[in-house]
Amino acid sequence: MHYYCSDHQIEHIVVSRAAQICELFHKQIKMMKITPTIFPPKGSIERCSKCHEYLTVGPITISTGEPICGRCSQDMDHVALFYENLAVYMFFPCINDRFGCDAKLVWGAVLSHEKKCQFSPVECPALNCKEKIGKERLLDHFKSSHDELKMDGNQITISMKECTVSVNKLLILGKTSIIFKQHFANPSWYYNITSWENLESKDLKCNIFIEDDKKRYEKKLKDVSIVPYTSKRHKLSQMTELDLPSLAEMWNTETFVLTILTESSSDTLLDKNLLSELKCPNCTGFMKPPIPMCPGGHSICNSCKLNISQCPLCSAEMRDNRNFTLERLIEHVVFPCKYESYGCGFVGTLSNINLHEQGCPIGSNELMECFINYLVPCSWKGIRSEAILHLSKNHTKFYINIRKPIVINLKEFKALSAFTEYNCEIFKIHITYDKKGGLNLCVKFIPGKKKNNYRYYLNFVDRNRNYRLLSLNKFCTISEPQNDTLDTSLFVKKQLIKPFLKNEVLEFKLNIDNF
């Protein structure tokens, strides 16, 4: 009996037999523990038909006559054993050899090296650049191609006028190069700090100090994580939101200065260990010049010296000695605001901190009751700066966020009395509506330490999109929180607001400004 085979069948038999011989040979060599000795020329190494990288990661498969590496496919049914069995006798280059990596890798160790290779290229962080660059060349690339995005130092200036686009900037913080991503999506501003350096072995964090352009106010963001750089495009879910427009309104500024400090550099700025040594042993407050000293060398604060006659540590008689050395050293120490525990993030040297504390917007140690305690029993007591936060979380019915438009359904509306905040000051809003008459609105200023003059502005929104405009304004009256009278209110006739109604819904924006 005779059997006939086609050319394709003969080819398949020959290849299969060759693969079996090669595999047997490979096992014999492996048992002899012979290490690879061949380093083929780079130009002779086959490349993957999909990713076009070196064919050095298994399993190597064949699809429609073209080789595919293990980076692109894990198909175990069409493995090219012939290729892999030969590969175990060779050294291979890293795919990042064109970026400077000169590693010689054995079969099976290539992929793990590629994942950690310090020469792995990254997509240039500049949003308008599509170039891929070796990590060690990023700094030079920024200098030559994106010099306007490279910050010389650890400060970034943000202008609210220009805060409408996304941008990535390069900063060098000590030995760490970071990319500061910022994205504006009205009404919030988002940021993210990334680095292309190896962060697996260390948990890098930094502190961000936000100041207004005149350095009157400061906000501190603690322990901001520096995450590995993976993509230059912004994903808001992976970024941190900050209401920068509200901060601009509160501080009355259009320009912010951000100072970014790594943990090591921020420790020198605000040294907690040093500050603990500067606390008075009697009252535990910070000692500030003049600093009295007992004959035994112990220092206390000047306030305590006026009230005690003996040193609290050694009982020696307090005289008129002063610690001049400590006084000079304190001039160079950075202190936190005394209202830090109440939320103030300002830090500064002695002269700056004294000036700040005199007008600190947070600054009031006097406990006060909840503003609506005269209407609804509430046991809350706290400082003035926390009163509005308490209302917004626990008494939403009595709180209005004027950063958002106020929407009223006149079919159901009768009256509203609520509190709001502007520029760290507290205001009370009264609104009543009479279907026959119109809208009565009054904004009262609830003063704290300062009694500034304020004016409120009403801008009605045309919900019918006919481009109509109605703007009204009036002075804010000074009042106590429990005063619900509508004295000096602004009356808007129904005929005036009728063009701005849509299904009996009225929308307007309330702004407050001092003068």
CA 307 to CA 289: how far, in whole Å? 17
| DSSP letter assigned to residue 459 | E
Mean pLDDT of 138-149: 81
CA 75 to CA 78: how far, in whole Å? 6
Whether the predicted pLDDT of 285 surpasses 60: yes
Whether the predicted pLDDT of 424 surpasses 80: no
Does 172 reside within a domain?
A: yes
Mean pLDDT of 125-149: 80
Judge if 155 and 90 occupy the same domain. no
Judge if 145 and 16 occupy the same domain. no
Nearest C-alpha neighbor of 108 from the set 60, 170, 56: 56
Q: Return the sign of the alpha-carbon dihedral for residues 257, 249, 366, 376.
A: negative
Does 417 reside within a domain?
A: yes
Judge if 13 and 49 occupy the same domain. yes
Instruction: Work out the percent of the chain whose per-residue pLDDT is above 90.
Output: 8
152: domain CATH number is: 2.60.210
Which carries the bigger pLDDT value, residue 210 or residue 163? 210
Does 176 reside within a domain?
A: yes
Secondary structure (DSSP) of 246-287: HHHHHHT-SEEEEEEEEHHHHHHHS-HHHHHHTB-TTT-SBP
pLDDT band at 306 (very low <50, low <70, confident <90, very high): confident
> Considering the chain, what is the average pLDDT of its residues?
78
CA 467 to CA 484: how far, in whole Å? 35
C-beta separation of 275 from 284 below 8 A: no
- Residues 386-399 pLDDT 10s: 788 888 888 989 99
Whether the predicted pLDDT of 443 surpasses 90: yes
Domain end among 116, 144, 167: 116
Q: What pLDDT is attached to residue 265?
A: 41
Which carries the bigger pLDDT value, residue 163 or residue 13? 163
- Residues 256-280 pLDDT 10s: 888 887 654 444 445 666 787 888 8
Q: Which residues does residue 477 pair with via DSSP β-bridges, in sequence order?
A: 444
Judge if 300 and 255 occupy the same domain. no
pTM for this entry: 0.40
Which carries the bigger pLDDT value, residue 281 or residue 244? 281
| Tokens found for residue 152 | 């010389």
Mean pLDDT of 342-360: 68
Judge if 296 and 162 occupy the same domain. no
495: domain CATH number is: 2.60.210.10
The length of the chain, given as a count of residues: 515
| Tokens found for residue 419 | 């509190």
Q: What pLDDT is attached to residue 242?
A: 80
pLDDT band at 173 (very low <50, low <70, confident <90, very high): low
Whether the predicted pLDDT of 175 surpasses 80: no
Residues 6+ apart with CB under 8 A from 371: 387, 391, 398, 419, 426, 446, 481
CA 163 to CA 190: how far, in whole Å? 11
Judge if 470 and 437 occupy the same domain. yes
pLDDT band at 346 (very low <50, low <70, confident <90, very high): low
- Tell me how crowded residue 48 is: count the other CB atoms within 10 A of its CB: 20
Mean pLDDT of 47-69: 87
Domain hosting residue 166, numbered range: 121-268
